[in-house]
Chains A and B, each alone.
Chain A
Amino acid sequence: MHLSWRYLGLVFLGGTVGTALREALGLVLPPIDLAGAHLPLTTVGINLLGSLLLGLLLEALVRRGHDAGGRRTARLLLGTGLLGGFTTYSALATDSALLLHGGAVGLAIAYALGTLLLGGLATWLGIVLGAALHLRTRGEGASARGENG
């Protein structure tokens, strides 16, 4: 499926918008300097928010049905493309390496491990929210059908 031009196009579109959002946030909220070290708090926020939203999106999609049609379009455009392009791993790794290079070992470990652990927590929270959202909308649908009957 990775060879489909349509799928590559959807991910290109989503990835372009996601990167533009990350870029814009980086311009509005530049990294702060703490005790001579370059602390990329904006990247932390971007990666945590993106993880929460991806967990929510993928869980909501998988509960609605199998990966086909509109659900696959949404997964590729918004998941793989938009949120995949919005969040970034290379900046996390390189900024951590730069902190290590500058001798700020504690800060490097706190930044890298903190992002990893909080990112996992944000993802899990997103999955729980996606599941709850699905159960709520399904519950409303069921009660609406009950009233009609």
Chain B
Amino acid sequence: MTPLLFLAVAAAGGVGASARLFLDGLVRTRLGGAFPYGTTIINVSGSLLLGLVTGLATNFLLAPEWSLVLGVGLLGGYTTFSTASFETVRLAQAHRYLAALANGLGMLLASVAAAALGLWAGLTLG
């Protein structure tokens, strides 16, 4: 990997993280902060897109450099595991076990399904 590509991937991650802050704030304003919908929307949509990027790259419809910048960088920085996990533990600490289960297991199942759908779409397009 060239130093320039490394920097491009890192900066794309910064852009993804800023987009996450922006979208999470937007969702919080619209839907309130009782349940962390923002992180769920971000992680499910990011998983769908990474599945698509991976599928397209497998079919050589996307150059490996772009796959790194978009996949490892942009979508890697956009989605987040630590915040999702923190919000789940906070819900459990507040004895909101059903909400914690939805935010933990629900988000995981939805994200894997979204990634599989994206992967299928990317592989089918080729």
A-side interface residues toward B, CB under 8 Å?
1-3, 7-9, 11-20, 22-23, 26-27, 47, 50-51, 53-55, 58, 76, 79-81, 83-94, 96-98, 100-101, 108, 112-113, 115-116, 119-120, 122-124, 127
Q: Determine if B115 and A18 form an interchain contact, defined as CB atoms under 8 angstroms apart.
A: no
Q: How far is the CB of B48 from chain A (nearest CB, A)?
A: 9
On whether the beta carbons of B17 and A26 are closer than 8 Å, the reply is no
Tell whether, in the assembled complex, residue B72 and residue A23 are in contact, meaning their CB atoms are under 8 Å apart: yes
A16 to B10, CA, bound (A): 5
A58's partner among B26, B86, B107 (CB-CB below 8 A) is B86
Q: Is the CB of B85 within 8 A of A90?
A: no
Q: Specify the chain A residue showing the minimal Cβ separation from B92.
A: A120
Q: Count B interface residues, CB 8 Å.
A: 57
Which of B1, B108, B114 has the largest number of chain A CB atoms within 10 A? Answer: B108
The A-B contact count (CB < 8 A) is 206
Which of A11, A55, A93, A113 meets B89, CB within 8 Å? A55
For the complex of A and B, list the 5 residue pairs with the smallest distance between their C-beta atoms, beginning with the closest. A2-B25, A19-B13, A15-B17, A16-B14, A93-B47
15 A–B contacts, CB within 8 A, in A order: A2-B25, A2-B29, A11-B14, A15-B13, A15-B77, A16-B11, A18-B77, A19-B10, A20-B6, A26-B72, A88-B80, A90-B50, A91-B50, A93-B47, A124-B89
Partner of A93, one of B10, B18, B20, B51: B51
Binding site for A on B (CB under 8 A): 1, 6, 9-18, 20-26, 28-29, 43, 46-47, 49-51, 54, 71-73, 75-86, 88-89, 92, 104-105, 107-108, 111-112, 114-116, 118-119
Q: Give min CB distance, B1 to chain A, whole Å.
A: 7
4 further A-B contacts with Cβ under 8 Å, apart from A15-B18, A90-B46, are: A47-B82, A89-B81, A93-B114, A123-B89
- Whether the pair A90, B115 counts as a contact (CB closer than 8 A) is yes
Q: In the complex, are the beta carbons of A83 and B82 less than 8 A apart?
A: yes
CA distance A83 to B1 in the complex (A): 23
- Pick the residue among A7, A20, A84 that contacts B80 (CB under 8 A): A84
Q: Are A8 and B21 in contact (CB under 8 A)?
A: yes
Contact: B119 with A101, CB < 8 Å? yes
Q: Which residues of B contact A17 (CB under 8 A)?
A: 10
